[in-house]
Amino acid sequence: MVSPVLIIAIGLGTAFALGLLGSSRKTLQFGATLTALAAMSAISVIWLVALVTGAAQTAEIHTAGAVPPFAINLRVGIAEAALLATVTLTGLFAALSLRAQLLKLGRGGMAVLLVLIMAISGLVMTRDLFNVFVFIELIAIATAGLVLLSEDPRAVCAGFKFLVVGQIIAILLLVGIIFTYHANGSLNIDDIAATPVGVQGAALAMFLLLIALVIELKTFPANGWALDIYTSAHPGFSAVFSAATGSAALFIVDKVVAPAGAEWLPLLTGIGVLSFVASNVVALRQDNDRRLLGYSSVGQLGLVLAVIGQRDVLGEAYLYVAGGLILSHAVAKAGLFWMSAMVRGRNLDDWAAIRARAPMVLAFATFIAMLVGLPPFPGFYAKWDLAQALVAAGRLPVLALILLGVLIEAAYLFRWFGFAIKREAPEKGLSANMVDCGITFAAVIAGWALGWIWGAIPGQHNVLATLPMLAVLAFFALEPLPAKIKNVAAIGALLGWFTLVFGDYDPMRLIFAVVMIPGGAVILLASFTETGRRIGFYPSAMAMYAGLALLLEATTFFEFFAAWEIMTIGSYFLILRGKMSEPHALSYMLFSLGGAFALLAGFALASGGIQPFALNQLGTVGAELAPWVFVLLSIGFMTKTAAMGLHIWLPGAHAEAETDVSPMVSGILLKAGLFGLFLMLMELGRQSLWGVDLTVVLAWIGAISAFLGAVLSIFQEDAKRLLAYSSISQMGYALFGIALMNHLGWLLAMMFVINHYVYKSMLFLAVGGVYKRTHTKLMYQMGGLITLMPFTFVSVLVGIIAMSGVPPLSGFGGRWIFYNAIMDAGLRLPLILIFMAGPVGFLYLFRLIHTIFLGQLKDPHRQLKEAPVWLLVPQMIFVAFLIGFAVLPGMALQKVDGYIGSIFGDQPLVWSGRAIASEFGYWNPVAIMVVIAVIFVSVFLILIAKNHDAQKVKQFNIVFSAERPYRPETTHFAWNFFAPYRKALGFLEAPVVTSFWGGVTDGLNGTAEFTRRFYNGNGQSYAAHVLLFVVAVYLIAMGGVA
């Protein structure tokens, strides 16, 4: 093992020696630079590996042959080694990224880069306060030098602002250091920490020291200078500035906190959280990509600073959490800056250029997921552990603010991703070359590898090391294959997984599993219509299914949450594929993440920091916390089921998705929320808060959703939106059923799980087929398609009969159970809404079938063909199932009924033969079917007997008001179909919820716009901000310490 000092020696030595190579041999100089950086990287990586595997112990390196505190010493432990590896590798890649500039400038530039990397490494290793100062100054000077590499003349201004602030930092730092030395008689960090301090003024000295280091982190609001650098510097350098310098600066704060003492931690937390939230808010209004990344960097550093401030409660998890966040940040930010080097335009929507290259999209998605902290990346694990620790320590406000910040960060990052995927690609395009792509992909690989490592650490559940996730990865590899082959593989994978696991599930899980896994496979049949390669579809879809599969497998909170997030990510990418879905996918993502954070908080509250916490221990939560856990989890789950108030993401997301995606996200994905609610209520049962029974609240929300969803649905002109609102209504029913908290209520909800999957999938596929042929989703532009698309018509017909609950199809079973269920329940008022929702639902369903298939056929549609056969196949399977399920509901429900009975300890339904009886009524599906069929057939036969020779006439052959209509359009009564209804009840359509969320968004954006005016571009103002920050924190801190 070579000594880590060599990192410094090699860096410096090479920098000095470059002058010997002669100014004309630039390539040689560049080669030497690369070699030196590679050697430095190699040393750090070797140490990292050795330390992690236990082959080496933390190294204490003494210089000058004396022991500390009398000589400067260095240390390399695991944290240091990891940071060193990050720093040196970033440096190596940065040299590659900057190669053109470096070769142009020659020796000087290369030397500066080498010294910068050397200095950052030194900063990471050193244990001496004044040495810290020297390295910081070296970094500052080198930064000021490298900023000049940019071709942007504004970089000069940025560099100068940076130097001005650097001077102020230096002054504060020196004064702080010398007084700390005076108080402690030592400059060695460990020595200071070990010695108790009694001297007056030591706290103030420590304050100056800390605040100077904190300003190095570019905390809000003392960070205008740094943002200018991010905006104008060469991105190859910005990557170093953000990833390497930022991480090292954090590490220094962390080092100094030990001698400073725990009383400074709250201050750091406060600064960090403020910086995190405020930077992210300001970033909302940013449209320059690099400045946006700058704000994001500042925010991320603030987040880690807050984590440093929480080290007292994190205990052993501290390194894991902080490290996860830092490394995620470093890798992702470096990667994004490198990508920014390839994108020619500077506006966010110029990133649409990357769309042409699928690997770039993958890279972009990876980096964003890392920043937001989504699985399987380290930030996700870190976020989880952080939440657990914070809740265990009762620091809920900190957690709430951090989650808020993450949410805002997700907002602009995913909005940006949406731009990249959906906006028109700019002409300027991309200047991709092998080297830039190579280093970007090195970052991508590093990101996934870190995800694996973070999961593989003992005591953690490795999200990536599960069969479904491996399958997802496999589908990345399959991407070059044609879509049809991948589709076979996907269906095979789903069915294979199902056969593997279904034996272990209890009946209720089994129902969910059938709907989610083989149910997904049935919908995938429709994907056979797609030709080409369909890049991006299968990894996303399989990620969603993997999430669902893991959700069912989950036994602990963590597994459940991880699965939940995976499912969300996958479905987000799926939804984003739709033509017009950009804003809707974003709002889907944000609501989902918001809901997920509610879950995170709820789980953390429930477990009280104990890990792993089994799902079925949820019932053991103490009586004081249980209602709160209930509230948080319900919010999380209801976001997924799109309960009224949290629903505004759904219509757009479901309606704008692709033809075969809509049924997946509607028919299948919504059930995840129900699954969660089932799990929660099974364990928690009824809970009351302030005397209010929370299940009653849920029932009300369910009823309101059922009613308003239906009302909104009837006013839609867009067929898919109509179906989407209908889903809100249907999920409202299910929610109501669950919230009844009795046997039949739950059975009702289970019935909805099955039925809604079947008929909503079927209807979405049918409408999708129509859309494929007519190229419109507006129903009033269709009409009369029954003769052209008979199969589609049949499936819609069966679908709406089933959905409206008209006997004999399976929807009626749901209604019957519903009536029996409410007989037991004490709830009466919300029932009014439910009662009304039923007929209202009939309205929109009729409209759907009428305006599309009946009425007059439009001229442009006369030549249409039936929908593609692969769209029809799953529909026909569903039709067959609906009829079968209508006759024999017992095949699915009887076992579940028994299982629910084992939960509630009762058995209200009696299954005798094929008839079902309850305490109140009875239901014989076979008899119903037979009677209706016999009557129908008899009447039909009579009609045929009389009218078999009826003359077929054109549909258009009609007369009204004694006139022949002129064009079919004029006689298709379809637009604003329920005009009287709108007149009477149109006020229910008022977009109250949308306005509310719109207000929240506008408020945030307004705050962002207002706040960013603060960055007026004047270097002196920035310097004054720094002073203002120092003084403000000083006043606060002294108030706190005194």
Partner 1 sequence: MSQIALTCGFILILAGLYGALTNRDILRMIVAFTVANTGVNIVLVAVGYLPGRTAPILDSAVPVAEAAQRIIDPVPQALVLTAIVIGLGITALMLAYAYRLFRLRHSLDISNFTELKW
Partner 2 sequence: MTFEWIQVPYALATLFIILNYGLLMTAVVRKLAARVGGRPGIPVWQNYIDLVKNFALRSKINHGVMYYLGPVFRLSGGIGLILFVPTIYGSSWAQNFSFAGDLVLALYFIFFGTLGMALGAGESGHPHSAIGVSRGLAQVTTAELPMALAVYSLAIQYQTLSITEIVAAQQGGLFNWTLFTNPLAVVAAMFAFVGTMMRSPFDVVLAPQEIPIGPPTEYHSAYLALMQTNRAIFPIAKTIIYMNLFFGGAANWAEFAIKVFLLYMIPAVIGVVHPRFRVEQSIRFFLKWGLPVGILAILTV
Partner 3 sequence: MIPKVLISVLLLLLGYAFWTLSVGYAPDTELNRTAAYYAANAESEVGAPNIVTGIIVTWRGLDTLGEVTVLFLTSAIIALVLSQSGGPSGVSGADFLPSGELLTTGARMLVPLIVLFGAYVIMNGHLTPGGGFQGGAILASGVLMALLAEPTRRFGHTAILRIESLSGSFYVLIGLAGMAIAGGFLDNGILPLGQFGTMLSAGAIPLISVLIGLKVGAEFSSILQSLHETEDA
Amino acid occupying residue 552:
L
Beta carbons within 10 angstroms of residue 860's beta carbon: 12
- Rounded Cα distance between 810 and 889, Å, is 8
- Rounded Cα distance between 848 and 867, Å, is 17
Is residue 739 at the binding interface for partner 3, with CB under 8 A as the rule? no
Nearest to 473 by CA among 417, 542, 563: 542
| Residues present in the chain in total | 1042
Residue 501, binding choice from partner 1, partner 2, partner 3, none, Cβ under 5 to 8 Å by partner class:
none
Q: Contacting partner 2 (CB under 8 A), which of 927, 1027, 1031, 1041?
A: 927
* Residues 964 to 993 in contact with partner 2, rule: CB under 8 A: 965, 968, 971-974, 977-981, 983-985
Is residue 732 at the binding interface for partner 2, with CB under 8 A as the rule? no
Beta carbons within 10 angstroms of residue 612's beta carbon: 15
* Residues 693 to 722 in contact with partner 2, rule: CB under 8 A: none
Residue 378, binding choice from partner 3, partner 2, partner 1, none, Cβ under 5 to 8 Å by partner class:
none
Phi and psi, residue 485, nearest 5°: -65, -40
- Rounded Cα distance between 896 and 884, Å, is 18
Is residue 244 at the binding interface for partner 3, with CB under 8 A as the rule? no
Min dist. Cβ of residue 188 to partner 1 (A): 12
Nearest to 993 by CA among 587, 697, 503, 634: 587
- Rounded Cα distance between 489 and 498, Å, is 14
Residue 109, binding choice from partner 2, partner 1, partner 3, none, Cβ under 5 to 8 Å by partner class:
partner 3
- Rounded Cα distance between 165 and 239, Å, is 21
| Residue 796 near residue 763, CB atoms below 8 Å | yes
Q: Contacting partner 3 (CB under 8 A), which of 194, 610, 935, 1035?
A: 1035
Which residues neighbour 473 within 8 Å (Cβ) at sequence distance 6 or greater? 464
Is residue 938 at the binding interface for partner 1, with CB under 8 A as the rule? no
Min dist. Cβ of residue 95 to partner 1 (A): 22
Binding track, positions 807-826, relative to partner 2; x by CB under 8 A: x----x--xx--xx-xx---
Binding track, positions 987-1026, relative to partner 3; x by CB under 8 A: -------------------------------x-xx--x--
Min dist. Cβ of residue 160 to partner 1 (A): 5
| Residue 625 near residue 457, CB atoms below 8 Å | no
Angle (nearest 5°) at CA 268 between 262 and 274: 155
Total residues in contact with partner 1, by rule CB under 8 A: 49
Is residue 911 at the binding interface for partner 2, with CB under 8 A as the rule? no
Min dist. Cβ of residue 118 to partner 3 (A): 8
Phi and psi, residue 617, nearest 5°: -90, 0
Helices 26-53, 5-17: inter-axial angle, 10-degree rounding: 180
Output the six-digit token pair for 168.
Answer: 């102020």
- Rounded Cα distance between 363 and 156, Å, is 31
Is residue 955 at the binding interface for partner 2, with CB under 8 A as the rule? yes
Min dist. Cβ of residue 80 to partner 1 (A): 24
Q: What is the largest CA-CA distance in the chain?
A: 115
| Residue 328 near residue 450, CB atoms below 8 Å | yes
User: Segment contacting partner 1 (CB under 8 A): 166-174, 420-428, 885-893, 970-978?
Assistant: 166-174
User: Segment contacting partner 1 (CB under 8 A): 163-171, 595-603, 808-816, 963-971?
Assistant: 163-171
Taking the least distance from each CB to partner 2, the nearer of 933 and 1036 is: 933
* Residues 8 to 37 in contact with partner 3, rule: CB under 8 A: 8-9, 12-13, 15-20
Taking the least distance from each CB to partner 3, the nearer of 15 and 840 is: 15
User: Segment contacting partner 1 (CB under 8 A): 45-53, 176-184, 634-642, 722-730?
Assistant: 176-184
- Rounded Cα distance between 997 and 994, Å, is 5
Is residue 91 at the binding interface for partner 3, with CB under 8 A as the rule? no
Taking the least distance from each CB to partner 2, the nearer of 573 and 885 is: 885
DSSP state of 693: E
Q: Classify 912 as helix, strand or coil.
A: strand
Which residues neighbour 912 within 8 Å (Cβ) at sequence distance 6 or greater? none
Residue 951, binding choice from partner 3, partner 1, partner 2, none, Cβ under 5 to 8 Å by partner class:
partner 2
Is residue 1023 at the binding interface for partner 1, with CB under 8 A as the rule? yes
Residues β-bridged to residue 692 = 689
Omega cis (within 30) before 69: yes
DSSP state of 675: H
User: Segment contacting partner 1 (CB under 8 A): 22-30, 359-367, 970-978, 1010-1018?
Assistant: 1010-1018
Is residue 503 at the binding interface for partner 1, with CB under 8 A as the rule? no
Q: Contacting partner 2 (CB under 8 A), which of 846, 904, 1014, 1034?
A: 846
Q: Contacting partner 1 (CB under 8 A), which of 14, 41, 232, 440?
A: 232
| Residue 419 near residue 349, CB atoms below 8 Å | yes
Residue 975, binding choice from partner 3, partner 1, partner 2, none, Cβ under 5 to 8 Å by partner class:
none
CA distances to 462, 471, 549 from 496, in Å: 22, 11, 12
Q: Contacting partner 1 (CB under 8 A), which of 17, 38, 164, 474?
A: 164
Residue 960, binding choice from partner 1, partner 3, partner 2, none, Cβ under 5 to 8 Å by partner class:
partner 2
Is residue 137 at the binding interface for partner 3, with CB under 8 A as the rule? yes
DSSP state of 70: T
- Rounded Cα distance between 667 and 663, Å, is 5
| Burial (CB count <10 Å: 0-12, 13-18, 19+), residue 160 | middle
Nearest to 840 by CA among 729, 695, 687, 940: 729
Binding track, positions 43-62, relative to partner 3; x by CB under 8 A: ------------------xx
Residue 885, binding choice from partner 2, partner 1, partner 3, none, Cβ under 5 to 8 Å by partner class:
none
- Rounded Cα distance between 230 and 298, Å, is 10
Q: Contacting partner 3 (CB under 8 A), which of 96, 144, 437, 916?
A: 144
Binding track, positions 441-480, relative to partner 2; x by CB under 8 A: ----------------------------------------
Is residue 1004 at the binding interface for partner 1, with CB under 8 A as the rule? no
Q: Which residue has the tokens 């497998």?
A: 553
Is residue 235 at the binding interface for partner 1, with CB under 8 A as the rule? no
Phi and psi, residue 978, nearest 5°: -100, 55
Beta carbons within 10 angstroms of residue 689's beta carbon: 13
Min dist. Cβ of residue 284 to partner 1 (A): 12
Q: Label the pairing between strands 688-689 and 73-76.
A: unpaired
* Residues 329 to 348 in contact with partner 3, rule: CB under 8 A: none
Is residue 836 at the binding interface for partner 2, with CB under 8 A as the rule? yes
Which residues neighbour 178 within 8 Å (Cβ) at sequence distance 6 or greater? 205
Min dist. Cβ of residue 610 to partner 2 (A): 45
| Residue 258 near residue 250, CB atoms below 8 Å | no
Enclosing H/E stretch for 689: strand 688-689
Q: Contacting partner 3 (CB under 8 A), which of 34, 38, 42, 63?
A: 63
Task: Give the binding site for partner 1 (CB under 8 A).
Answer: 130, 133-134, 137, 140-141, 144-145, 148, 153-154, 156-160, 163-164, 166-168, 170-171, 174-175, 177-179, 181-182, 187, 224, 227-228, 231-232, 285-286, 1012-1013, 1015-1020, 1023-1024, 1027
Task: Give the binding site for partner 3 (CB under 8 A).
Answer: 3, 5-6, 8-9, 12-13, 15-20, 61-66, 69-72, 105, 107-109, 111-112, 115, 118-119, 122, 126, 128, 130-131, 134-135, 137-138, 141-142, 144-145, 148, 175, 179, 182, 184-187, 199-201, 204-205, 207-208, 1018, 1020-1021, 1024, 1027-1028, 1030-1031, 1034-1035
